[in-house]
Amino acid sequence: MKHNFIETSVYNLLQSRAKKIFTIFFMLLALASSVMLVTSEAVKVKLLPNQYADNFTMYIDLPQGKSVYETKEVTSCIVETLKNEDIITNMSIFLGESAPVDFSGMLKGRLFANGENIANILVNLKKEHEREESSVDAVHRLRPVIQKNCSMHNSNIKFVQAPAGPPYLAAIVLEITSDEKLSSMEKLGFKLETIFKSIDGLVDIDVLTDSNTPRHVVKLNREKILKSDLKLDQVKNILYLSFEGMDIAYTNSEDVQNQIPIHLVLDKKTKLFNLDSKEELLNKFSEIKLMNSLGMLVPLSELITIETKAKGHQLSSKNLSPLINVVAETDMISQIYALLDIREAIQERLSDEYEVQKTGMLDFTLIDKRTKESFTLHWDGEQKVSMDTITDLSMALGVAIVLIFFMMVLYYKNFSLATAIVLASFISVVGVIYAHLIFDIFTTATFYMTGTSLIGFIALIGINSRNSLLIIDFAKQLIEEKYIDADRAIAISVATRAKPILLTVLAIIFASALLATDPVFGGLGVALIGGTLAAYAVSLFIVPIIIQIPLIKQYPIKKEAHEEK
Amino acid sequence: MNTKNYKKNIAGQLAQTFIEHPLTLMLSIFILVMGYVTLQISPREANPQIVVAGGAVIVAYPGVKASEIQKVIVEPLARRLREVQGVEDIYGYAQDNVAILNVKFFLGQERDEANFRLYNSVLRNVDVLPKGIMQPIVKTMDIDTDIAIASIAFYPKNSSLSMTELHNKVSKIQTKINRIENVAITDLIGERKEQYNIEVNLQKLTGYHLSLGQLLKSIEGLTAKIPDIKGRTAEEKIVIFGVDKAIQNINDINKLIVAIYGGSAIYMEDIATVTKSDDIQNMKSATLVFAENGLANEIPQTTISITKKQGANVVEVNKDIFALMDSLKEELESENIGFVITRDDGYTANHSVNELVTHIVISVIIIGILLIVTLGYKEAFIVTLTVPMIISLTLFAGYMLGQSINKISLFALLLSLGLLVDSAIIVIENIHRHFHDHDAGNKTVKEIAVAATNEVGNPTNLATIAIIMTFLTMFLVGGTVGQYIRPIAVFAPIAMFASLIVAYIFTPYLVNKLMTKEE
């Protein structure tokens, strides 16, 4: 039989101890360096990258108590800022109520949001193939401009893009729970906000607590009201009617779908307050008069007193523990590193005032050194799910490896062969990581190693074990049926199977090449390309070495028998 | 290789059975047709559905401060709701006048049942709540009927059309859209309703020595309604008479006598400005800018948002909705109403599905070219032909399992594509190789094909099972992400299994039909 090039080189490799050691050493080096690439953050990890879409939404929140006119100023400013963007086809601006709710909106609590101090803008972009800039890049470019120009009246503008996977409250959510005073929790919340703001790439930062606005309390003087021959509810109703107005009657009409209400209210000019003060309120109330059953008119101001207090503060709780959330989105960075940066900053900057204790994997307990107040910091949001999913995927990987190992043991009834196959499969991780590095170098944005890369890697374990299987099976067949010695059999087997393996590798690479361009599944595509290429090299050079000893051990007698023949 | 007497494995047996079977061709055509039909009728989605169960309990308690609400509503109710099975977290928000409790269930809870348990628990525990509260409202989160699949913004084309007129017109369209099959809920956003506004001038009111209470009573009396009255004549015939609606237009309100002051009547118009316009107390509004009109021109609009029923195909529903809008276009044009489609999930779903289908086709072609170069055109043709069959089988199996066609399931197919052809490549490459064996001359094509299939059968089986197992481990991923990637865990193993079957049944069959040893 003619020996081809692959067969000869594999045979030589198996015969030379030095070459084998060199190959194994080279493999270990590659493996170590690829792990280094990840730990040194040369290849960055992120659970799910951003998804491209044809739209995005802006959530605009002003502090409680701001009027619709102030909110309108913000939205008008945004529209004005965007008026020359030719990638936008249309924008719907919703003041005081939610835009048509999408899945993100639902999980971000936008379903019930209403009030004069909120607005939503739904921005539709040109279809993807009609523009050059991706939606992710567009938001990245527009966000700072809009937030710089239009954040008047302490407004908070958030940019919401369709996530690649399931949506969450925010990319990073830090829950502060504590039984201490709300003001102390808020103080800590704002300190954390400052820390968040100092981290590059964290955007749309917000402390989810409402601000204090003054509120006047009208106290009814019951004695005076009864003495004036008036009723308490009469006074309350008139007060509401004057300023808020009431639908006092309805008329129906055939050509209208709904009833037409008749709405009674004081006209704009008369109900206008000149100032937000107690005195002005009393002054206005003196003009409003109530008529008693005797037909006497009594000014409202005579019947009441006014106190000014802070408005009741919204109280949030999670499972009965008072809660304040600090939220942030990530812009072009991975939540994982942002989280680590925040943790570091918390330990560094808050340790003057608080005693920082680590609890659980990532959480903290902070104790105010002066007041001994204690606060629990717990991470939630997309970033927590990222961590959980990566853990789950790693577990899946482990299970896959164990399952394959047992299957091979079952098939070959040989532990060392099974170990060899699993080892060979695992080495393709080198290809996965280096492929990400190469892609990262050639793409402008950071090319992350994502959850889908991990899925690709899990699939690769299966693919690679097939390569090894084909080689081992044929080698065994050669030994058993043709009585060729193990080294030669391995060499022939590798040489014979090299072509179909190369073909399947190429098939996977070409099929994955289209995946690689997808923002979400790019990781998977790249993992498959790099991984199968590495697997090919592994099949040619590493597999022969690691199956050599088990095979020789398994067929020592047959080899002799062959020689006797 | 001994081809006469050897024990065949499953691969070899399948190859042997089907290699000359007359039904093989029929079967392959049937599979292809089935796949095409499945592709057409399966529900399409952009993203796979994630089932989240949860809801909000809203309890209004007018006139009570947040701190009190926290104590008398949020805390007791949250304590009680913790009893509900499957509840993960309860977020409580106490504001002035209202308490909101957001209840989040663990993932994977059956939604209807979770909703029922939540309702039940709220109703059972109403007694822990203070007197004077309004009826608690339970709003369950429903991924189908809460999330808009389409929205359309309507705007007046010129100022002659008022927003209230627009609202009247749009509500008629709303009814029409609601008639479409599988449309669940339609909602109007930013609408202005028609309303008579009586804006009272306080100075004038005081001038005439009147109070607001008097105005209130005079109008309430006028609009009080009674049903038609039946009287009888002497001959026992029925005489029907009714009281006319007192307010039919703006004049009826203007001429309303509010009081008699100094012997002369005081009319409503003397003390108030009455207009028939929109709901002035409504601080909500919506505006629109769009490119054709210049992005700086903000005009008022009313949006209809539309949701679909569970399990309905978003592509189909939206097609119906926009077909309706097309048919209304001229009518709307004549009424000076313009509209812009501001959301179309059907397009998104269809577009991503079609794009991925194209990707799959391109990949198949590329692999075909690769095989032509390396193996020869007949082999390439055979392998390429197996792909549609595998995909058809997979789609059909997915459809039977109730999976929709979405981005992730197609990605699973695209991902498996490289693997799918592998089994076929390995089988055909082995057949191809054995054609060049020195003893090939003594055997028929059929014998070689069966033997070669048999030879690589075991390792290919084992390897495919290994790959299937690796994909199955993805069922272990929990959380929403787990649900999201579930189609991969479902489709990839099915595809792999299908590829095995196809490789063993159809590849040898086609080889036998198409190839001769000389090539």
Is the predicted pLDDT of residue A558 greater than 70, yes or no? no
Residues 342-361 of A with CB under 8 A from B: none
What pLDDT score was predicted for residue B204? Answer: 83
Confidence of residue B166 (pLDDT cuts 50, 70, 90): confident
Q: Which of B75, B163, B68 is nearest to B125 (CA)?
A: B75
Residues 259-318 of A with CB under 8 A from B: 260-271, 287-291, 297, 311-318
CA dist A206 and A189 (Å) reads 9
Concatenate the DSSP letters of all residues of A239-255 into one string: HHHHHT-EEEEEE--TT
3-class secondary structure per residue, B300-329: ECEEEEEEECCCCCHHHHHHHHHHHHHHHH
What pLDDT score was predicted for residue A559? Answer: 46
What pLDDT score was predicted for residue B4? Answer: 46
Q: Which of A540, A533, A331 is nearest to A438 (CA)?
A: A533
Alpha helices in B335-444 (DSSP H): 345-375, 377-400, 407-435
Is the predicted pLDDT of residue B440 greater than 70, yes or no? no
State the pTM of this model: 0.82
Reading phi first (left if > 0) and then psi (alpha if -120 to 50, else beta), residue B367 is in alpha
Please list the residues that pair with B230 across neighbouring strands: B240
CA dist B496 and B492 (Å) reads 6
What pLDDT score was predicted for residue B517? Answer: 59
Note the pLDDT tens digit of each residue in A181-218: 888 888 888 888 889 888 888 888 888 877 666 778 88
Is A198 an interface residue toward B (CB < 8 Å)? Answer: no
Q: State mean pLDDT over A74-89.
A: 90
Q: A287: burial class by Cβ within 10 Å (0-12, 13-18, 19+)?
A: middle
Reading phi first (left if > 0) and then psi (alpha if -120 to 50, else beta), residue A332 is in left
Q: For testing the chain B interface, which of A316, A405, A492, A502 should be mutated: the one with the most B CBs within 10 Å?
A: A316
Concatenate the DSSP letters of all residues of B240-266 into one string: EE-PPPS-SSHHHHHT-EEEEETTEEE
For residue B30, the one-letter residue type is F
Out of A174-183, A196-205, A548-557, B180-189, least confident range: A548-557
Contacts of B456 in chain A (CB under 8 A): 470, 473
Is the predicted pLDDT of residue B297 greater than 50, yes or no? yes
Note the pLDDT tens digit of each residue in A324-347: 888 888 887 788 888 888 888 888
- For residue B196, give the nearest of A262, A389, A532 by CB distance: A262
Is the predicted pLDDT of residue A37 greater than 50, yes or no? yes
Is A225 an interface residue toward B (CB < 8 Å)? Answer: no
For a pLDDT cut of 70, what percent of chain A falls above it?
Answer: 95
Q: What integer best gives the mean pLDDT of chain A?
A: 82
Quote the strand ranges of A168-229, DSSP E: 172-177, 202-208, 214-220
- The token duo for A398 is 């482990």
Is the predicted pLDDT of residue B451 greater than 60, yes or no? yes
Q: What share of chain A is helix, strand, coil (3-state, %, to 5)?
A: 55, 20, 25
Note the pLDDT tens digit of each residue in A106-120: 778 787 777 888 899
CA dist A84 and B239 (Å) reads 70
Note the pLDDT tens digit of each residue in B3-24: 445 667 777 777 777 777 777 7
Contacts of B432 in chain A (CB under 8 A): none
Is A193 an interface residue toward B (CB < 8 Å)? Answer: no
What pLDDT score was predicted for residue B114? Answer: 86
Angle made by CA atoms B494, A53, A385, in degrees to the nearest 5: 65
Angle made by CA atoms A497, B507, B33, in degrees to the nearest 5: 140
Please tell me which residue of chain B has the smallest CA distance to A464.
Answer: B463
What pLDDT score was predicted for residue B321? Answer: 92
Note the pLDDT tens digit of each residue in A306-319: 887 766 677 888 88
Confidence of residue A1 (pLDDT cuts 50, 70, 90): very low
Confidence of residue A429 (pLDDT cuts 50, 70, 90): confident
Task: Give ipTM to 2 decimals.
Answer: 0.81
Q: For testing the chain B interface, which of A85, A251, A394 should be mutated: the one with the most B CBs within 10 Å?
A: A251
- The token duo for B304 is 């209809």
Closest approach of B459 to chain A, Cα-based (Å): 6
Residues 36-95 of A with CB under 8 A from B: 47-48, 53-55, 68, 75-76, 79-80, 82-86, 88-95
In total, chain B counts a number of residues equal to: 519
CA dist B241 and B222 (Å) reads 18
For residue B468, the one-letter residue type is I
Cβ contact A248–B196 (<8 Å)? no
What is the CB neighbour count within 10 angstroms for residue A203?
Answer: 22
Q: B254: burial class by Cβ within 10 Å (0-12, 13-18, 19+)?
A: middle
What pLDDT score was predicted for residue B2? Answer: 44
CA dist A21 and A17 (Å) reads 6
Q: State mean pLDDT over B279-299.
A: 85
Q: Which of A411, A405, A455, A407 is nearest to A432 (CA)?
A: A455
CA dist A430 and A527 (Å) reads 10
What pLDDT score was predicted for residue B304? Answer: 92
What pLDDT score was predicted for residue A299? Answer: 83
- For residue B284, give the nearest of A96, A264, A510 by CB distance: A96
Q: Which of A383, A503, A88 is nearest to B290 (CA)?
A: A88
Confidence of residue B306 (pLDDT cuts 50, 70, 90): very high
For a pLDDT cut of 90, what percent of chain B falls above it?
Answer: 5
Is the predicted pLDDT of residue B108 greater than 80, yes or no? no
Q: Which residues contact B36 (CB under 8 A, 6 or more apart)?
A: B392
Q: Which of B504, B405, B420, B410 is nearest to B468 (CA)?
A: B420
Is the predicted pLDDT of residue B152 greater than 90, yes or no? yes
- For residue B367, give the nearest of A256, A510, A528 by CB distance: A510
Q: State mean pLDDT over B436-451.
A: 72
Q: For testing the chain A interface, which of B260, B284, B306, B364 should be mutated: the one with the most A CBs within 10 Å?
A: B284
- For residue A249, give the nearest of B96, B189, B220 by CB distance: B220
Residues 416-445 of A with CB under 8 A from B: none
Is A528 an interface residue toward B (CB < 8 Å)? Answer: yes
Is A239 an interface residue toward B (CB < 8 Å)? Answer: no
Contacts of B288 in chain A (CB under 8 A): 90-93
What pLDDT score was predicted for residue A564? Answer: 43
Please tell me which residue of chain A has the smallest CA distance to B368.
Answer: A507
CB B403 within 8 A of CB B47: no
- For residue A248, give the nearest of B94, B216, B359 by CB distance: B216
DSSP tag of A300:
G
Please tell me which residue of chain B has the smallest CA distance to A168.
Answer: B480
The 3-state DSSP class for residue A462 equals helix
More reliable by pLDDT, B519 or B107 = B107
Is A232 an interface residue toward B (CB < 8 Å)? Answer: no
Note the pLDDT tens digit of each residue in B469-500: 888 888 888 777 888 888 888 888 888 888 88
Q: What are phi and psi of B185, to 5 degrees?
A: -125, 140
Radius of gyration over every alpha carbon of chain A, rounded to an integer in angstroms: 35
Please list the residues that pair with A318 across neighbouring strands: A321, B91
Is the predicted pLDDT of residue A563 greater than 80, yes or no? no
Note the pLDDT tens digit of each residue in A134-170: 888 889 899 999 988 888 888 889 998 887 777 788 8
CA dist A113 and A483 (Å) reads 78
B445-472 and A451-482 are packed helices; what angle lies between their axes, rounded to 10 degrees? 140
Confidence of residue B326 (pLDDT cuts 50, 70, 90): very high
Is A214 an interface residue toward B (CB < 8 Å)? Answer: no
Please tell me which residue of chain A has the smallest CA distance to B90.
Answer: A319
CA distances from B325 to B151, B275, B304, B349 (A): 12, 33, 12, 20
Note the pLDDT tens digit of each residue in B190-226: 888 888 888 888 888 878 878 777 777 777 777 666 7
What pLDDT score was predicted for residue B194? Answer: 82
Q: What integer best gives the mean pLDDT of chain B?
A: 82
Out of A6-10, B91-95, B192-196, least confident range: A6-10
Angle made by CA atoms B72, B78, B81, in degrees to the nearest 5: 130
